[in-house]
Amino acid sequence: SDTFVVGLLGEPVRWADARAATAVLSLVALAGHDLVLAVHPSAQRRFEAQRYAESLGIGHRIVLDEELAEPWRMVSGLDAGLLMSDETTSARPRRLGSPLGILLGGGRPRRPMTGTMSLLWAAAAGIPVVAEGTLAARAFVEEGITGFLVGSRDIYRAANRLVRLVEDRQLAGRVGAAAAVHVRQADDVSAFCVRLKTVWERLCDERPMLILGDPAGAHVEFVPPERRARRIEANTANQR
């Protein structure tokens, strides 16, 4: 089929915002492109999204798919992956939301940004992704090369990126292939084994080291014992 299939991804999948994704769908579909949005039944604001799509006459372009909760089963059937969060997600969530929530009738609890594990599955399968530019997404998505990054709930930019993918299948294939290579190099089991082997050999040789975390994975830095002690002491002081 020539229909371009976009999957609304996220981890957990119920945090993905179907209403925002449908707004993106409407901008692309009403511009004349043949597009379908696959949504998990438990996605955030799913019923509102379906009503909105029906009001625009594009209700048939939303397809419910429970297998989105297990992306390894179905990402190969997608043409692109999309991650959109609603207004209750935040990079710095607060337990009780707004302190004026009771008076203003709002104040839903804030949640962390939607996770990107399902996007990693898509990228590993060579499927281009359009995602909000969280730290987790930036770890494997390089704008225009291994995927596309948009601002938080920026439906217009997300729609623009999907239009580019729909209109230029070569671009979609090129971005998807680059994403697959990047994910396999950075997150593949063999890459992890290489890092583990390096650490294990250094431990066997009783060579002092620090293992630092970074967005691309573990980074091993070998330092003298006295420098290591000073650095640990400095990090502890900073945390306090």
Structure tokens at 16: 């993905």
Helix H or strand E segment including 7 = strand 4-8
CB 129 within 8 A of CB 147: yes
Q: How many CB atoms lie within 10 A of CB 203?
A: 11
Residue 6 confidence (pLDDT)? 95
The CATH H-level superfamily of 4-187 is Glycogen Phosphorylase B; (3.40.50.2000)
Going from N- to C-terminal start, the domains of the chain cover 4-187, 189-239
Residue 162 confidence (pLDDT)? 95
Residue 238 confidence (pLDDT)? 61
CB 166 within 8 A of CB 33: yes
Q: Does residue 82 come out as left (phi exceeding 0), alpha (psi in the -120 to 50 range) or beta?
A: beta
- Kindly indicate the confidence band of residue 92, based on its pLDDT and cuts at 50, 70 and 90: low
What pTM, to 2 d.p., does this model score?
0.69
**pLDDT for 168-221, tens place per residue?**
999 999 999 999 888 887 766 666 676 667 767 776 666 555 544 444 444 445
Residue 10 confidence (pLDDT)? 85
pLDDT at 120 over 90: no
Question: How do the residues of the chain divide into helix, strand and coil, expressed in percent and rounded to 5?
Answer: 50, 20, 35
Mean pLDDT of all residues belonging to the chain: 79
- β-pairing, 4-8 vs 80-83, is parallel
Give the Å distances, CA to CA, from 184 to 116, 120, 121, 176, 189.
16, 10, 10, 12, 8
Q: What is the mean pLDDT of residues 100-122?
A: 66
The DSSP code for 15 is G
The DSSP code for 63 is E
Q: Map residue 130 onto helix, strand or coil.
A: strand
Query: By percentage, how much of the chain surpasses pLDDT 70?
Result: 67
